[in-house]
Amino acid sequence: MRMRKCPKCGRYTLKEKCPTDGSATVSAHPPRFSLGKETKYGKYRRAAQE
Ligand SMILES: [Zn+2]
């Protein structure tokens, strides 16, 4: 099963409709992408501090 996310309230769910407000959810991107980005930023930040 894929993780889905409600664009309205930002809640993560496995259902196609948000259990909170009934909005149609969209499939959430795997956290791999943002993780790589964060690492990159972290490196940059570190370099700037040193
Ligand atoms: Zn919602």
pLDDT tens digits, residue range 6-49? 999 999 999 999 999 999 999 987 666 555 555 666 666 667 76
Q: Which domain holds residue 15?
A: 4-49
In the reported structure, the alpha carbon of residue 39 is separated from the centroid of ligand 1 by a whole-number distance in angstroms of 30
CA 29 to chain centre: 6
Question: How far, in Å, is the centroid of ligand 1 from the Cα of 13?
Answer: 9
CATH of the domain at 24: 2.20.28
Q: How far is the CA of 47 from the centre of ligand 1 (A)?
A: 39
> What residue type is 35 in one-letter code?
L
Q: Which residues lie below 8 Å from residue 25, measured CB to CB, with a gap of 6+?
A: 4, 5, 6, 7, 13, 15, 16, 17, 18
The answer to whether the predicted template modeling score (pTM) of the entire model surpasses 0.75 is: no
- What is the tally of structural domains in the chain? 1
- Does the pLDDT value for residue 1 go beyond 90? no
